[in-house]
Structure 1
Amino acid sequence: VDGLVTCEQWTWNTGGTLEELKSMLLRNRVAGQSSSGLIDWPYPFVEGELFALTISSGLEGYHVQVDGRHVASFPYRVGFDLEDVATVQATGDIEVESMFAGTLPAVHPNILQRNLELLAELKAPPPEEPVELFIGILSAGSHFTERMAVRRSWMSAVRNSSSTMARFFVALNGRREVNEDLKKEADFFRDIIIVPFVDSYDLVVLKTVAICEYAARVVSAKYVMKCDDDTFVRLDSVMAEIKKIPDDKSFYMGNMNYYHRPLREGKWAVSYEV
C-alpha cells in the first residue's frame, strides 16, 4: 500500500528483525548461552501508559503509526472516497486523552447537497447533437455522494466532449425528503433523469429500458452505454474502441451468455410466470 508493507514485523530490543532474532537464539543455544534478558517484545500498546497513534491517508490506503513508527497499512475499500470522510471515532478498551484531526473535508456531503451553488462548475452543459455516445448511469435517490464522485472524476471528460453525454437515471425514493433533495439536485446539475416509479431492485430493468429509450428518442445517440454510479468509465478507451467500428457494422461490448438458463433460486431468480 503506497510502497509500505501491510503489517510489518515488530523489531526487538536487539535492533534486529524476527528472522535475525531466530538466528541469534539458535547460535546461543548451540553455544550453551542463556538468552534470558536479551529479548523484550516491544509491543506499542502497554496497559496504563500513554501512546500516540497517527492515522494518515495515502493514495492507496491508510497508514498507521504508533509513537512515530509505522506499524501497518490498510488499502481503501472499493468505492471509498476520501472526500466523504466526515467523522473519526476511537472505540475499544482505551481511554482517549485527546484527539486531533487535520485535512478532513470542510463540509459534509449532506451540507453540499443543500448548498448546490458551491458546485456550479459541475453542471452539465446544454445537449448538443448529434451525440455519438450516450452513457446512462444507474443511481439511487440517496446516492448523492456517489453522483458527486462521478461528477468530479470521469464525468468531467464527458462535459468537455461535444460528442458524448452522460445522465443519471434515478427512481423515486420512499421518503419524501429524499425526493425533494433529488428534484433540487436534478434542476441544478441538469444531469438526472427521474423515472416515475419507486426504486426497487426488481425494477432495475426498467431503468435500463429508460436509458435505451432516452438515448434513441431524445438525443438520437449512435451508441449507448450503461453503468452504475460506482463505476469509473475510461472514456478515452471506450471512444477508441468505437472508432474502430465501421459505419455499416453493429457493435456490442460486454458479456453475452447465449446459453444461460433462467435462475429459479437466489437473488436473480425469475419465476415461471415471468
Structure 2
Amino acid sequence: MKKWSGGTLIGILTVLLFFRYSYLFQPRIVITAPQMLQKQKKQQQYTFWNSNPSLNFTPKPHLLHNLTGLVELYSLPLSSSRSTLLWPHIRDLLSRSDSLPDTATGIREASVAWKQLAQAIDRANASDVDFDHRRCPFSVTGNRTLEVPCGLVQDSAVTVVGLPRGGNESSGFQIEMISGSRDDDEGLQRSVILRYRVRLDRDFIEQNAKSVDKGWGVEETCPSSIANASLHSSSGNHRVDGLVTCSEQATRGKGSNGGGSGSSDILGTNFPFVKEHVFTATLWAGLEGFHMNVNGKHETSFTYRERLEPWLVNEVKVSGDLDVLSSIVNGLPVTEDWKTMFGSVEDLRAPPVVDVIAANGNSKKRKKRRLLLIGVFSTAGNFERRMAIRRSWMQYKAVRSGQVAVRFFTGLHKSSEVNLELWNEAETYEDIQLMPFVDYYSLISLKTIGICIFGTEILAAKYIMKTDDDAFVRIDEIVSILKNFDENGLLYGSISFDSEPHRDQESKWYISPEEWMRSSYPPWAHGPGYIISRDIAKFVVNGHQRRNLRLFKLEDVAMGIWVSEFKNSGQRVRYVNDDRFHSDSCGDGYVVAHYQGPRLMLCLWKKIQSLEQDDVPMCCV
C-alpha cells in the first residue's frame, strides 16, 4: 500500500513538471492597448446584460411559436421585396412573450392584408390593369351612408347639412364613424370609432366609442352640467388639440319660479341644433381627437380612444329624426400624380444604398459609409405628407448625394386599396420600409427598434435620427453640427430632464404603475426629432436580440430608458439639448419644425432656398 502511494506521488510530480516546462517555452501572446480596450468594453456589456437585475427579466421573455398569422405573413413572396429588408431582423421581436399591446392583433390583421395585397398585385399583372390608377378618392358624397374605402387621415372631415324634425319625445339624431365588415348586419364585429348623438328633447350631446372586445366606453356629454346618474360628464378643463371638449356658453335670464311670486335665475345654453332649423355640421379629425363645428363655431371635441383611430373608419352613417340635405367626406388620403406635380420620378427617388464599382472587369457592390440615417415615422394613408417631404427637405444636397439617407417606416393598413397604393409608392420611390404589422399607435416603439436595426445592420450610418412625417428637418444645419460631435454616446434633441408618467387613464400617454412604477422618467428627447450615435443604436439592437431590452409603448420615452441603460452599462452619455428642435410648432431659427402640413412643408423649403448666408430661417403661416 505504501509503495503504491509513493508511485502515485512520483507520477503526479512528473505531470506537474511537464506542464511547467511547456508553459516556459510556449510563445507569449501580447495584447495591445486597443485589443485590451475592446476586450474590456465587451466584458462590460457582457457583465451588464448578464448581471443587471433590472434588465434580466424573471422569467426571461420567450418566443411564441404559434402566433396567429406570423408564418403566413412571412411565407408570401412579397416578403422578399426591397421594402421589407427589416422583416428577417424583426421577426423575433414580434414573437416575444412580453410583446407590446396589440402586437398579436397587428400581426393577425397584417397577415390578412398582406395576402390580399399579393392577390391584388397578381390580378393587376394578369389583366394589365394600369397600376397607377387611383383607388383612394379624395372625397365621397352621399346621403345617410357613405363608404370610406381608404380611411381618414388628419384634417379629413365629414360635413352634414340637415334639418332636425323632432317628431317625438325622445327625438334626436346621430353621426357614427364605423370600422369593420359592411356585411356584419348585427354589428358584432364592428367598432364605432365615434358616435356623435344629438338629443333634441333635452338639448345635449353624447359622445362615445365602442370596440369589439371591450364594448362601449365612458360616455361624454355636453353640456357637462346635465344631471343624469347614468352618464359620465366630461371634464371642463380637458382639451383636445388645444380645443375644449365642450363649448358651453351659458346665459343668465329671468324666469318665473312657477308660483307666480317673484322670479329666479335660469341657466340656459345656446344649443347649436334646433328643431326645424337647417344646420351645417363639420366633424373633422385632428391629431389627438375629433372636433365638431356647427354653423362655423367649435362645439365639442372627443379624444381618440385606445385602438380606435381615424384611419380605421370605413363607413360614415347618419341616422335619426332629421332630413339629410347633403353629406360629404373630404380630405381623404390620396396619392399625388408625380408626372404632373414634378418633372421626373428620378428627382424624387431615393439614391441607391450601395455603389457598384468595377474590379478586374467584374462588378461588385460596396456599401457607402453614411453620416446619418433619418427614419421618418409615417402611416400608410399619409401619401401627401411623404410626397411633400420628397419635394422639400429630401432635396437637400446631402440627401441627394447619399451622405444622408432618409427612409419612411410605415405599417400596413386594413384597407386593401390603401395597401395597394402604398406598395406602388414604395416600388416607385424606393424610400419606404414596410413594417410587418398593422399600424396601431401602441406599436410605434417597434419602429424605433427597426430604425436602429436598419442603421446598424442594413445601412451603415454614424448617427441615426428619428422624426415624423409632419416635421421639417434642416439637413444642412444638422450635418454641420454632427461633424463637430464625438461619434459616441450621443442623445441630441429637445431633452426632457424632469418628467413623470401620465396617470390619467383618459390621457393618450397614460402609463399604468405596472408599466412604469417609478415616479419619474430618465432624460428623454421629444419624438418629432432626436439623434443618437451608432454605439447607442447597436446597444439597442443587441438588447433586442438578447431579449433583455425593455419594451415600452411611448417610443421617445423608451429611447430615453434605453439610453439610461446604456449609461448604466458603464458607457459615457452626452445629453445635448437644443431649443431649436421645436416639438410642438415652428420657431424662427428652427432646426426641426413640427406640425407642418404639406403646404407649410413646401413653403418652408421655398424660404430655405431663398436664404442668404447668415440669414435666420423663418416660419410660414
TM (normalized to structure 2)? 0.25
Aligned counterpart, 2:502: 263
Match of 2:345 among 119, 133, 141: 119
Aligned counterpart, 1:179: 419
Shift of residue 161, structure 1, vs aligned partner: 2.5
Post-superposition Cα deviations, 1:53-77, rounded to whole Å, max 9, x if no partner, equal: xxxxxxxxxxxxxxxxxxxxxxxxx
Shift of residue 258, structure 1, vs aligned partner: 4.0
> What is the one-letter code of the residue matched to 1:187?
E
Q: Alpha carbons of 1:117 and 1:162: their partners in 2 closer, same or farther (altered >3 Å)? A: closer
> What is the one-letter code of the residue matched to 1:123?
R
Match of 1:133 among 365, 368, 372: 372
Aligned counterpart, 1:100: none
Shift of residue 231, structure 1, vs aligned partner: 0.9
Aligned counterpart, 2:489: 250
Aligned mates of 2:428, 2:343 — CA distance in 1:
8
Aligned counterpart, 2:390: 151
Please tell me whether residue 160 in structure 1 is matched to residue 400 in structure 2: yes
Shift of residue 260, structure 1, vs aligned partner: 2.3
SS at match of 2:402: coil
RMSD: 2.4
Aligned mates of 1:182, 1:114 — CA distance in 2:
17
Aligned mates of 1:111, 1:223 — CA distance in 2:
32
Shift of residue 188, structure 1, vs aligned partner: 1.0
Shift of residue 137, structure 1, vs aligned partner: 0.4
SS at match of 1:126: coil
> What is the one-letter code of the residue matched to 2:509?
W
Alignment of 1:170-249 (within 5 A): 170-247=410-487, 249=488
Contact 1:112-1:118 within 8 A present in 2 as well: no
Shift of residue 191, structure 1, vs aligned partner: 0.1
Contact 2:339-2:345 within 8 A present in 1 as well: no
SS at match of 2:492: coil
Q: Alpha carbons of 1:269 and 1:109: their partners in 2 closer, same or farther (altered >3 Å)? A: closer
SS at match of 1:252: strand
Alignment of 1:71-90 (within 5 A): none
Unaligned 5+ segments in structure 2 are 1-332, 355-367, 516-621
> What is the one-letter code of the residue matched to 2:489?
S
> What is the one-letter code of the residue matched to 2:508?
K
Aligned mates of 1:177, 1:114 — CA distance in 2:
21
> What is the one-letter code of the residue matched to 2:510?
A
> What is the one-letter code of the residue matched to 2:349?
K
Aligned mates of 1:111, 1:167 — CA distance in 2:
19
Aligned mates of 2:482, 2:344 — CA distance in 1:
36
> What is the one-letter code of the residue matched to 1:153?
S
Aligned mates of 1:271, 1:222 — CA distance in 2:
36
Aligned mates of 1:150, 1:203 — CA distance in 2:
23
Aligned mates of 2:417, 2:334 — CA distance in 1:
16
Shift of residue 162, structure 1, vs aligned partner: 2.7
Contact 1:172-1:198 within 8 A present in 2 as well: yes
> What is the one-letter code of the residue matched to 2:335?
N
Percent identity between the aligned chains? Answer: 37
Post-superposition Cα deviations, 1:88-113, rounded to whole Å, max 9, x if no partner, equal: xxxxxxxxxxxxxxxxxxxx963517
SS at match of 1:207: helix
Contact 2:338-2:345 within 8 A present in 1 as well: no
Q: Alpha carbons of 1:182 and 1:236: their partners in 2 closer, same or farther (altered >3 Å)? A: same
Alignment of 1:10-159 (within 5 A): 110=335, 112=337, 119-128=345-354, 129-157=368-396, 158-159=398-399
Contact 1:169-1:194 within 8 A present in 2 as well: yes
Shift of residue 227, structure 1, vs aligned partner: 0.6
Shift of residue 132, structure 1, vs aligned partner: 1.2
Look at both structures and tell me which one has the larger radius of gyration over its CA atoms. 2
Contact 2:336-2:387 within 8 A present in 1 as well: no
Aligned mates of 2:464, 2:481 — CA distance in 1:
13
Which deviates further from its counterpart, 233-242 or 262-271? 262-271
Aligned mates of 2:339, 2:484 — CA distance in 1:
44
Contact 1:172-1:195 within 8 A present in 2 as well: yes
> What is the one-letter code of the residue matched to 2:381?
S
SS at match of 1:170: strand
Contact 2:375-2:467 within 8 A present in 1 as well: yes
SS at match of 1:227: strand
SS at match of 2:502: coil
Q: Alpha carbons of 1:181 and 1:119: their partners in 2 closer, same or farther (altered >3 Å)? A: same
Aligned mates of 1:130, 1:150 — CA distance in 2:
23
Unaligned 5+ segments in structure 1 are 1-107
More strand by share: 2
Contact 2:385-2:469 within 8 A present in 1 as well: yes
SS at match of 2:369: coil
Aligned counterpart, 1:88: none
Aligned counterpart, 1:59: none
Aligned counterpart, 1:19: none
Aligned mates of 2:408, 2:379 — CA distance in 1:
9
Aligned mates of 2:402, 2:428 — CA distance in 1:
20
Which deviates further from its counterpart, 117-126 or 155-164? 117-126
Q: Alpha carbons of 1:113 and 1:156: their partners in 2 closer, same or farther (altered >3 Å)? A: closer
